[in-house]
Structures are given as C-alpha cells and as structure tokens.
C-alpha cells in the first residue's frame, strides 16, 4: 500500500548485497529474472533507493534520531539498499532560526521524500503561552500538509519488561494492540471559539465534526491491518451521547459488513474502553477511534508496556510519505545527558521500513534485535529497577547494532 517512490533498481557491481542474496530475504527463491518488476540478471545487485527525511527537533530528539539513523544505515548495508538521508528543522529550533515551527523548506523536503523520521519538539524555552507560534504547531501543520489522517500506535508488552509496568504481569502479559487514531478531524479541528457574554462570563466551544469519507478511510485502513493480524477490530465511540459518534457507528458498521465480513467486529463506548484497557488489554487486536478518544486512550495504553521510551508511532495518509516518531516528547529534563532511551525511535524506524518502504524482513530484523538486547538484560536508565545498572543512548544502540550484525 505504501510503496517508496524512489523505487527499486538492479545494478552491476556496486558492492552491495548480490541480488541472489537479497532474493533469499525478499522472495525466498534462489533466483528470478525479474524482481519487483525490475529486469535483472545473475551478478546484478538489487537496491532499494529511498529518500528519508530526518527531523530531529528539540531536546533529546537529535540524540535519539542519530541512533535510529545508525540502525537504518546498518539495515541499508546488510540488505543492499541505498537510503539517502537529509536533515531538516522543525519545532523550537525552527522557531529560533526562522520564526516558523515548520519552515517551507522542511515541508518541501518532506513532500519529496519516501518517509520521514521525527524526534520530538518542544521544551521550556518555547513554553510562553503568549508566543506567536509554538513548536507543536509544526507537528499539526506537517500532518495537515501531508494529509496524514491515521495515527498508528502499536502497544506491545515486552516479556523482559513486564515487571517495569505499573500493572500486574498477569494482566498485561501478551498485550499486542494496534491503535488507529483519526488524526486530522474531530474536536481538535472543528469550529471553536471564545465569546464574552453580557453577564460578564465567557463562553467557549469546540466542535467535533466528521464526514462519512473521513470515517470510511480510517476504518478501511484499520480493517486491512486487522486482516493481517488476528482478524479482530474494535471501534470506540460515545454514540450514546454524541452525534459525531453516531455517524462513526453507522459508517463503520456498513464498511465492516459490506467489505470485511470475515473480521470479528465490535463497538465499545470510550468510557468502558478506558476501564477494559487496564483490566483486559489482551482481548484487543486492532482498535480504531476518533482523534480525541485516540489521543487519550493511546496515552493510557502507553503505560501498559512500562516506559514511554519503548513506544513508536506512525502517521500515514492514503498516499505519499509516512511520518514516524517515538511517542515520547523532547524530555528536556534529560536532554544532553546521553541517557535518553533510543529504542522507541529505533522501533519507529522499523515501522518506517515496514509501512513506507515495504521492507517487512528488515523491519522484523530491527525489532528482533531490540528484543534480544532486552533479553540479554541491557537497559537504559528509564527501564532499570532499583539497584540495576544502566547503559547510555549510544551504548544500548551499539548492542542493537551488534545484535543485528550477529
């Protein structure tokens, strides 16, 4: 669904992985005359050429992006791909340099890319509520500009970190949920305002607005993901109260019945879902919901695996580049200390390989390396329990790289 524009190429003798070896990964065949539609012959080298834009942002953003780039560079050399990286500014650093949280040059580079990897934006320096613009404006704008209407957030517990979670091991063990949060509509983008009333009070309003097609496209995307997973989709709404939720309920029921009859589909009210996530998280597979409900539920769910430092996310549109990022912020309290956990960003890079470049094997190899590093007992400061020693940002990435190289 999300194929890179830069494309595959067969070349002779460029020192990358020979085509026959690449085929073992991609096609599980000893040799073929055409690979992904590209004519090739023995001795050729198959390379995926992809343009990746890096947006390090603020705080620990540059520290974790540097490590994710190292991982992508190893993937490129191991699997014979060519990733062309370029770095651009967003957030607070962009406000300092240009007065804009998302300069036009950054938008243009993102548009011309195959995928975007973002660190984080924001920090106390830019927190003035009266400022003309704020770092977060850069994030909202890039999502709008690129039509990134779906935010995917996998919530997976790692066996090795079960005891780091505030919840009991027996409740969270085996949790593997993929959230689809609608990202460009609803309460955060509907008409809003503040007015003065004659009696001296103020009246404020925000409006949840959705159209049929906005609901259709995200429900379809979530359903396609469910088909590749455990064939179960849960739609979360507040249809007992909100008109916009009643539209969600009608539209998703129709799409599921007409287009995805084999998927086990259910609906849950958002207030119940908030409880179920803490009492029976393993009963969910793919969950789809509106912008604000998704915002709150995914933050709640992010507590299940135990640390913010482990969770990646992806924002996708129906075409064009996807945007990948860790869910944590710029962590100004630890910025510059070399102790930030880079694993969420490395896992976001794995999502980028899977969803934007179609490189499933490569994505899985990164995820497996992260798991092995945790299984071997290596931890960053945010993951250790009392008395355990921890590794810094660079050192834990070194272990991931070693594990990938084997």
Ligand X SMILES: NC(=O)c1ccc[n+]([C@@H]2O[C@H](COP(=O)([O-])OP(=O)(O)OC[C@H]3O[C@@H](n4cnc5c(N)ncnc54)[C@H](O)[C@@H]3O)[C@@H](O)[C@H]2O)c1
What are the catalytic residues? 188, 238, 271, 295, 299
Based on the shown chain and the rule CB under 6 A, indicate whether residue 358 belongs to the binding site for ligand X: no
Smallest gap from residue 64 Cβ to ligand X (A): 6
What is the Cα–Cα distance from 320 to 313, expressed in whole angstroms? 17
Helix (H) or strand (E) segment spanning residue 232: strand 232-237
Among 340, 350, 359, 369, binds ligand X (CB under 6 A): 340
Binding residues for ligand X, total number by CB under 6 A: 21
Ramachandran sector of residue 177 (left: φ over 0; alpha: ψ -120 to 50; beta: rest): beta
* 269, burial (CB in 10 Å: exposed 0-12, middle 13-18, buried 19+): middle
Half-sphere exposure of residue 204: CA atoms within 13 angstroms, side-chain side: 0
Q: 17, 101, 121, 225: which one contacts ligand X (CB under 6 A)?
A: 121
At residue 217, φ and ψ (nearest 5 deg) are: -65, -35
State the minimum distance, in angstroms, from the CB of residue 119 to ligand X.
Answer: 7
Tell whether residue 308 is a contact of ligand X (CB under 6 A): yes
By CB under 6 A, residue 341 contacts ligand X = yes
Three-class SS of residue 35? strand
Q: Do 298 and 153 contact (CB within 8 A), yes or no? A: yes
Phi-psi region of 271 (alpha: psi -120 to 50; beta: other; left: phi over 0): alpha
Q: How far apart are CA 270 and CA 50, in angstroms?
A: 40
Considering only residues 248, 329, 366, 378, which one is a binding residue for ligand X as defined by CB under 6 A? 329
CB of 313 to ligand X, least distance (A): 9
> For ligand X, which stretch binds (CB under 6 A), given 12-20, 69-77, 166-174, 333-341?
333-341
Binding of ligand X at residue 266 (CB under 6 A)? no
By the rule CB under 6 A, 305 interacts with ligand X: no
Token pair listed for 321: 């580049």
Q: Does 320 bind ligand X (CB under 6 A)?
A: no
The interface region with ligand X, picked from 107-115, 214-222, 236-244, 324-332 by CB under 6 A, is 324-332
> Considering only residues 127-156, where is the footprint of ligand X by CB under 6 A?
136, 139
Binding of ligand X by 333 (CB under 6 A): yes
Q: Please give the residues from 91 up to 120 whose contact with ligand X meets the rule CB under 6 A.
A: 120
Nearest distance in Å: CB 390, ligand X = 10
CA distance 386 to 406: 31
Interface stretch with ligand X, choices 14-22, 198-206, 328-336, 384-392 (CB under 6 A): 328-336
Nearer to ligand X, 45 or 149 (CB): 149
Q: In the bound complex, which residue of the shown chain has the CB atom lying closest to ligand X? A: 329
Nearer to ligand X, 46 or 120 (CB): 120
Alpha helices, DSSP H, located in 205-303? 212-227, 243-259, 270-279, 291-301
Residue 114: HSE in the Cβ half-sphere, 13 Å Cα cutoff: 26
Residue 326 phi/psi, 5-degree rounding, is -75, 160
Q: Which of 51, 328, 354, 379 binds ligand X (CB under 6 A)?
A: 328
- Enumerate binding residues for ligand X (CB under 6 A): 60, 120-123, 136, 139, 308-309, 325, 328-334, 340-341, 344, 382
């Amino acid at each position: 669904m999300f194929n890179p524009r830069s494309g595959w190429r067969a070349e002779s003798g460029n020192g990358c992985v020979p085509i026959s070896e690449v085929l073992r990964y991609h096609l599980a065949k000893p040799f073929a005359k055409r690979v992904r539609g590209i004519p090739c012959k023995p001795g050729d080298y198959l390379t995926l050429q992809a343009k990746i834009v890096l947006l390090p942002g603020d705080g620990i953003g540059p520290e974790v992006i540097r490590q994710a780039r190292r991982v992508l560079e190893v993937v490129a050399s191991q699997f014979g791909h060519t990733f062309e990286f370029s770095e651009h500014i967003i957030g607070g650093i962009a406000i300092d340099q240009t007065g804009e949280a998302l300069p036009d040059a950054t938008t243009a580079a993102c548009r011309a890319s195959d995928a975007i990897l973002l660190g984080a934006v924001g920090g106390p320096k830019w927190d003035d509520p009266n400022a003309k613009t704020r770092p977060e404006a850069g994030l909202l704008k890039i999502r709008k500009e690129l039509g990134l209407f779906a935010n995917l957030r996998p919530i997976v517990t790692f066996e090795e970190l079960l005891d780091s979670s505030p919840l009991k091991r027996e409740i969270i063990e085996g949790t593997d949920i993929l959230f689809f949060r609608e990202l460009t509509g609803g309460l955060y983008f509907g008409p809003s305002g503040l007015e003065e009333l004659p009696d001296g009070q103020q009246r404020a309003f925000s409006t949840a607005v959705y159209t049929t097609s906005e609901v259709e496209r995200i429900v379809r995307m979530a359903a396609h993901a469910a088909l590749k997973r455990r064939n179960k989709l849960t739609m979360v709404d507040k249809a007992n109260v909100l008109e916009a939720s009643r539209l969600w309920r009608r539209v998703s029921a129709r799409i599921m019945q007409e287009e995805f009859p084999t998927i086990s589909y259910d609906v849950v009210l958002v207030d119940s879902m908030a409880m179920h996530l803490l009492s029976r998280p393993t009963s969910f597979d793919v969950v789809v919901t509106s912008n604000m409900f998704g915002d709150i539920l995914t933050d709640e769910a992010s507590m299940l695996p135990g640390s913010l430092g482990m969770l990646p996310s992806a924002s996708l549109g129906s075409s064009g580049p996807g945007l990948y990022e860790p869910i944590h912020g710029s962590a100004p309290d630890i910025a510059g200390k070399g102790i930030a956990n880079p694993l969420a960003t490395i896992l976001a890079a794995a999502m980028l390989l899977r969803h934007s470049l179609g490189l499933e094997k490569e994505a899985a190899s990164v995820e497996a390396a992260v798991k092995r590093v945790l299984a071997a007992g290596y931890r960053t400061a945010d993951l250790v329990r009392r008395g355990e020693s921890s590794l810094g940002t660079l050192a834990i990435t070194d272990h991931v790289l070693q594990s990938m190289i084997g």
